[in-house]
């Protein structure tokens, strides 16, 4: 689906380029929400920010108060299965079906380091409360321990002849619980990976697992359509909940731990009393959900629904917000001279790079603090130049589209960028509308000129 969307966009942009549509002040917008199902959700402690992972291979950061998309993190080559904030919330991690995990800088959106070592899809990622160790579960049946600071794999523990589908960690950080495809849960010590006990009782794969806020209970959900409440100290099954005709898709405790919440692929949230097992109420969400997350203040719950995210008021079940991403106006489009890439500069600070050979998104990055006003490839396509409303000219290498250098333009209200190299010169002038840049034969020197509106 993503490739089809990008292929359609490429055709549209190329036709606009050839017809000079952008020079006619045409307005083009890009939708910035996920374009494939949302597969993972995570909230920071204050619930001001929400991160989502998707089958479109990206992670997105949202402002929960306004519902607006803040930034997109791109780097995985397959589905993002899990996302999580670091305990200090300065970074976040994503786990992917591409067999890797990536640590991201919260403020810049840049990749900090990659964690490798799994031989199958990575399904889960959780941090030790001290923030020094990262734990991951995978389809290879192993739980890996990583040093967060160095990215080094410290330990790899094979725990099941099957798949590890989800992990959860106790509040004190001493115990890790793994939900496995053989229908069992396994409690592990976090200091050495030693098996504490196995919890048996589900008739099929255990897809979800959570510790209660006080750490006394473990809650598990299975594709056998049951939830089970376990004593975390003894591993004994306390209670079984069964309600669904369709598959269970997510579960959570309320912030107080007094209620259990589960979601189904049928589009329903079910609330249970933890101590008695009594069914309290249901909320009809309308469509299938995959991921579910509750706020620590206990006011709201977030669920994924196809390509979007919805939040509901826990008290009355009312819909609070829907997160789909805002449309961002396209300011400028540049085509590399070898016809390999299209670069799209957005009013919302982002640059999208689309590979014309594959139709896939090659890169997406926030180029400036504010609107990207101009964009061009160098004549030999080794550098991409962007000009921002923030007063910076930035140079990006075109292998991984990382920043090489930047120049401060002290002149405000800049409106033109010119790039000269050898016998090629590219100049763009923006007055009240956008005019197409042209190549002319000029000086051999390389420089960038910034000017005022005139």
- DSSP tag of 24: G
Give the end-to-end CA distance of the chain in Å, rounded to a whole number: 44
Q: Give the whole-angstrom CA distance, residue 220 versus residue 68.
A: 33
| Chain segment 210-228, per-residue pLDDT in tens | 999 999 999 999 988 899 9
More confident residue, 451 or 104: 104
Q: What per-residue confidence (pLDDT) applies to 245?
A: 63
Q: Answer for the pair 125, 135: CB distance below 8 angstroms, yes or no.
A: yes
Q: Is the pLDDT of residue 409 over 60?
A: yes
Q: What per-residue confidence (pLDDT) applies to 411?
A: 42
Please give the mean pLDDT across all residues of the chain. Answer: 79
Distances from the Cα of 408 to the Cα of 153, 244, 389, 395, angstroms? 41, 60, 11, 12
More confident residue, 453 or 151: 151
Return the bridge partners of 179, or none: 166, 185
* Alpha-carbon 290 to chain mean position: 15
Q: What per-residue confidence (pLDDT) applies to 424?
A: 34
Highest mean pLDDT among 292-296, 367-371, 418-422: 367-371
Q: Is the pLDDT of residue 256 over 70?
A: yes
Q: Give the whole-angstrom CA distance, residue 352 versus residue 13.
A: 13
Give the pair of three-digit tokens for residue 389. 């409303």
| Chain segment 173-209, per-residue pLDDT in tens | 999 999 999 999 999 999 999 999 999 999 999 999 9
% of residues, the chain, pLDDT over 90: 41
Beta strands 111-115; 101-105: pairing state: antiparallel
φ/ψ of 98, rounded to 5, equals: -80, 10
Q: How confident is the model at residue 391 (pLDDT cuts 50, 70, 90)?
A: confident
pTM as predicted: 0.66
Give the pair of three-digit tokens for residue 63. 């402002």
Q: Answer for the pair 266, 281: CB distance below 8 angstroms, yes or no.
A: no
Beta strands 361-366; 372-377: pairing state: unpaired
Q: How many CA atoms lie within 13 A of 164 on its CB side?
A: 34
Within 8 A by CB and 6+ apart from 334, the residues are 342, 343, 345, 375, 376, 377, 384
Cα 27-33-36 angle, rounded to 5 deg? 120
Q: How many CA atoms lie within 13 A of 390 on its CB side?
A: 19
Least confident of 49-63, 78-92, 122-136, 418-432: 418-432
Least confident of 30-44, 162-176, 316-330: 316-330
| Domains within the chain, CATH numbers bracketed | 2-30+331-452 (2.130.10.10), 38-323 (2.130.10.10)
Map residue 6 onto helix, strand or coil. Answer: helix
Helix, strand, coil percentages (3-state) for the chain, rounded to 5, are 5, 55, 45
Mean pLDDT (whole number) for 368-376: 86
Q: Answer for the pair 31, 389: CB distance below 8 angstroms, yes or no.
A: no
Q: What per-residue confidence (pLDDT) applies to 56?
A: 86
| Chain segment 310-327, per-residue pLDDT in tens | 788 877 778 887 776 545
Q: How confident is the model at residue 288 (pLDDT cuts 50, 70, 90)?
A: low
Q: Is the pLDDT of residue 283 over 70?
A: yes
Q: What per-residue confidence (pLDDT) applies to 28?
A: 46
Q: Is the pLDDT of residue 33 over 70?
A: yes
* Alpha-carbon 177 to chain mean position: 24
Distances from the Cα of 309 to the Cα of 5, 12, 277, 329, angstroms? 20, 28, 28, 22
More confident residue, 444 or 219: 219
Q: How confident is the model at residue 452 (pLDDT cuts 50, 70, 90)?
A: very low
Q: Give the whole-angstrom CA distance, residue 315 versus residue 147.
A: 40
- DSSP tag of 434: B
Q: What per-residue confidence (pLDDT) applies to 372?
A: 87
Q: What per-residue confidence (pLDDT) applies to 287?
A: 62
Mean pLDDT (whole number) for 330-337: 82
């Amino acid at each position: 689906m993503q490739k089809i969307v990008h292929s359609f966009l490429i055709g549209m942009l190329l036709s606009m380029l050839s017809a000079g549509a952008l020079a006619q002040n045409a307005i083009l917008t890009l939708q910035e929400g996920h374009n494939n199902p949302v597969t993972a959700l995570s909230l920071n402690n204050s619930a001001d920010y929400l991160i989502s992972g998707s089958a479109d291979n990206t992670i997105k950061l949202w402002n929960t108060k306004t519902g607006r998309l803040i930034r997109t993190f791109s780097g995985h080559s397959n589905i993002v299965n899990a996302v999580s904030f670091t305990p200090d919330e300065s970074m976040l991690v994503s786990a992917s079906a591409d067999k890797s995990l990536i640590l991201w800088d919260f403020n810049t959106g840049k990749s900090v380091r990659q964690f490798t070592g799994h031989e199958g899809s990575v399904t889960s990622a959780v941090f030790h409360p001290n923030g020094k160790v990262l734990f991951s579960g995978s389809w290879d049946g192993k739980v890996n321990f990583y040093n967060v600071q160095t990215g080094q794999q410290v330990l790899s523990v094979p725990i099941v002849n099957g798949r590890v589908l989800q992990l959860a960690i106790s509040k004190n950080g001493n115990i890790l619980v793994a939900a496995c495809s053989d229908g069992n849960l396994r409690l592990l010590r976090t200091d050495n990976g030693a098996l504490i006990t196995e919890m048996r009782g589900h008739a099929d794969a255990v897809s979800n697992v959570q510790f209660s806020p006080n750490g006394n209970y473990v809650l598990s959900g299975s594709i056998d359509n049951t939830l089970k409440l376990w004593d975390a100290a003894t591993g004994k099954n306390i209670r079984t909940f069964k309600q669904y005709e369709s598959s269970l898709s997510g579960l959570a405790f309320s912030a107080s731990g007094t209620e259990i919440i589960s979601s189904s692929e049928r589009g329903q949230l079910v609330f249970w009393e933890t101590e008695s097992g009594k069914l309290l109420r249901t909320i009809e969400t309308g469509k299938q959900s995959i991921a579910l997350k509750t706020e620590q203040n206990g006011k709201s719950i977030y669920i994924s629904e196809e390509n979007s995210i919805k939040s509901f008021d826990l008290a009355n079940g009312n819909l609070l917000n829907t997160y789909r991403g805002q449309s961002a106006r396209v300011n400028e489009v540049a085509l590399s001279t070898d016809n390999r890439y299209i670069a799209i500069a957005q009013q919302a600070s982002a640059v999208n790079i689309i590979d014309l050979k594959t139709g896939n998104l090659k890169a997406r990055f926030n180029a400036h603090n504010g609107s990207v006003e101009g964009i061009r490839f160098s004549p030999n396509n080794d550098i991409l130049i962007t000009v921002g409303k923030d007063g910076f000219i930035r140079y990006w290498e075109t292998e991984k589209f990382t920043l090489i250098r930047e120049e401060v333009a002290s002149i405000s209200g800049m409106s033109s960028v010119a790039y000269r190299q050898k016998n090629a010169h590219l100049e763009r002038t923006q007055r009240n509308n956008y005019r197409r840049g042209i190549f002319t034969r000029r000086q051999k020197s390389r420089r960038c000129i910034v000017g005022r509106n005139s």
